[in-house]
Structure 1
Amino acid sequence: MNNGKTFIVTGAASGIGAETCRLLKEQGATVIGVDRNETGNADQFFRADLGDPASIDALVAQLPEGADGLANIAGVPPTMAAETVLKVNLYGLQRLTFGLVPKLADGASIANLASLAGFGWPNAVDQVKRTMDLSLEDDVASFCEKEGLNAAEGGRSYFLSKEALIVWTLQNRWTWRERDITMNCISPGPVDTPILGDFLQTLGKRAEEDRKHMDRPGTPQDVAPVVAFALSEHAKWFRGANLTVDGGMSGHILSNIHQL
């Protein structure tokens, strides 16, 4: 499906990022991995801190031109400080993407790893808009304090980062249409990765209630094929879409909302 293509994958060292690298290589693609931790999962590796603008800019300068796609998979869990969550999961992702677009090949695809945690964005539009007024170089710490994110229980900073990412993806559905560069996002439900414990710790009873409705947590092997599809030519008529891969949880939530 992706034979002969070249893709950049962030978060390549573990979890969904690592499995995406493996699958893309199996499909015949060349994979350029990006992570804070060195890994042999990719054909070529670059170390970067996606919460640091200088590190991102240096990465953009080093990465080769002509890649066929970018998979923005790197992220941090809700147990991290709110400032860090927003910087890595949203603002750093945006800075990297905007920096790389001029270097991507025409017809490239961008796949952003969002989350079921972002499902409620329509009910948080005002806060999402305030969040999206900032960039990585702004005073994110003060913003988090003003929004009460530092004291918010239940990982609100993480939910907000994913809500804003879904909205940002939607907004950029046609931004690079003249070059046929598409952007979509993938929203997994709970996935058995090294940070699943962080979610259970943060969400507590809420997570346990959700898990009652699922036959099992997802795995990286469930999600990586959807990322690979979103990067492929087969997904070229998806623009600004949010592809849910969540074991039916989003359908369950919608059914409850509408009493179906």
Structure 2
Amino acid sequence: MNAPHYAVTGVASGIGAALAARLLARGCRVTGFDLRPPADAPFPCHAVDLGDLTAIAPALADATGPFDGLCNNAGVSPRPGQEVAILAINYFAQRSVTRALLPRLAPGASIVNMASRAGARWRDNLAQVQRLAAIDPADLPAFVRSEGIDATRAYNLSKEALIAWTVGESEAMTARGLRINAICPGAVATGLLSDFAAAFGDAMARNIARAGRPGQPAEIAAIADFLLSPDSGWLRGAEIAPDGGMGAFAASDTLGLATLRL
């Protein structure tokens, strides 16, 4: 029996690197994708620039499947002046990668989208999410201007759209014999953490203080590994939020749940 084979984007560092290592450790095969693939990767690794949406399908054409799962892990952080790139890479590129690899996904395969706790308010912002989803990606600069979007909002919106797409796509994927789920981490100690600290400021610092620490890439990778595996077969269209309790703390504050404590 062939070992399970998984495709992972953003595999050179952070959560993607941790996930690849975990999959290899349990005997799986990995095909990786990254802007700058690691030269010493112990698995096939393809160069792909997710910021160039027209280049994604050609870059993925040589990736040999079938794949038992795909983790859309790659993404960029909320750096000022990068609003168009944030929306293109964190949302539109994820869809393009999935579309390109869809014919090479094996029956029963699992798609895992790496979203964020920053996308938790997608229901509240659904009208803007739908406006984003309706545009041609070539019109992103005009969209950013007309909507008055800064880098932080671009990041939040990209993750809101990614979660909404996951939920909206779930039934169609089920009909194809596939699954799709989203992971929505809180702050994670990767090389991009300083960008998030600059974007979210004191709010993020307070959340990390309340949780006791940021998450670790290996902790998020463990959840992605589970969602990719057949063991999570009854999870479809789910929003899994490994955030150290940050979401629960905020909900307790908002809803006055402290009155229910022991």
With the shorter chain as reference, the TM-score category is: over 0.9
Q: Does structure 2 retain, via aligned residues, the 8 Å contact 1:18–1:41? A: no
2:62 is aligned to 62
Partners of 2:26 and 2:71 lie apart in 1 by: 15
Aligned pairs for 1:169-180 within 5 A: 169-180=166-177
Residue 42 of structure 1 deviates from its aligned partner by 4.8
1:256 is aligned to 253
Residue 230 of structure 1 deviates from its aligned partner by 0.5
Partners of 2:222 and 2:136 lie apart in 1 by: 31
Moved more, 120-129 or 12-21: 120-129
Q: Does structure 2 retain, via aligned residues, the 8 Å contact 1:22–1:41? A: no
Residue 19 of structure 1 deviates from its aligned partner by 0.3
2:260 is aligned to none
Partners of 1:50 and 1:220 lie apart in 2 by: 21
Aligned pairs for 1:157-168 within 5 A: 157-168=154-165
Partners of 1:42 and 1:226 lie apart in 2 by: 22
Partners of 2:148 and 2:222 lie apart in 1 by: 37
Partners of 2:173 and 2:128 lie apart in 1 by: 26
Residue 117 of structure 1 deviates from its aligned partner by 0.5
1:89 is aligned to 90
Give the number of aligned pairs. Answer: 254
Letter in 2 for 1:49: D
1:12 is aligned to 11
Residue 145 of structure 1 deviates from its aligned partner by 0.8
Partners of 1:115 and 1:24 lie apart in 2 by: 22
Residue 258 of structure 1 deviates from its aligned partner by 1.7
Residue 41 of structure 1 deviates from its aligned partner by 3.8
In the superposition, the TM-score normalised over structure 1's length comes to 0.94
Q: Does structure 1 retain, via aligned residues, the 8 Å contact 2:9–2:32? A: yes
1:223 is aligned to 220
Partners of 1:68 and 1:34 lie apart in 2 by: 16
Letter in 2 for 1:114: A
1:139 is aligned to 139
Partners of 1:46 and 1:55 lie apart in 2 by: 12
Letter in 1 for 2:171: W
Aligned pairs for 1:9-158 within 5 A: 9-39=8-38, 40-79=40-79, 81-136=82-137, 138-149=138-149, 152=150, 155-158=152-155
Partners of 1:245 and 1:37 lie apart in 2 by: 28
Deviations along 1:39-87, whole A, 9 cap, x unmatched? 1345101000012123201123211231111000000000151100000
Deviations along 1:130-165, whole A, 9 cap, x unmatched? 1111343x311111111111xx37x11101100111
Aligned counterpart for 1:199 among listed residues 196, 202, 209: 196
- Indicate how the Cα distance of structure 1 residues 43 and 201 shifts in structure 2: closer, same or farther if over 3 A, else same: same
Letter in 2 for 1:8: A
| 2:209 is aligned with 1:209 | no
Partners of 2:213 and 2:153 lie apart in 1 by: 24
Partners of 1:188 and 1:55 lie apart in 2 by: 28
Deviations along 1:85-119, whole A, 9 cap, x unmatched? 00000001111101211121111100000001011
**Bigger share in helix:** 2
| SS of the residue 1:173 aligns to | helix
Q: What is the CA RMSD across the aligned residues, in angstroms?
A: 1.4
* Structure 1: 5+ residue stretches without partners: none
| SS of the residue 2:3 aligns to | coil
* Structure 2: 5+ residue stretches without partners: 258-262
- Indicate how the Cα distance of structure 1 residues 42 and 258 shifts in structure 2: closer, same or farther if over 3 A, else same: farther
Residue 217 of structure 1 deviates from its aligned partner by 0.5
1:181 is aligned to 178
Q: Does structure 2 retain, via aligned residues, the 8 Å contact 1:12–1:42? A: no
Q: Does structure 2 retain, via aligned residues, the 8 Å contact 1:32–1:42? A: no
Identity of aligned residues (%): 37
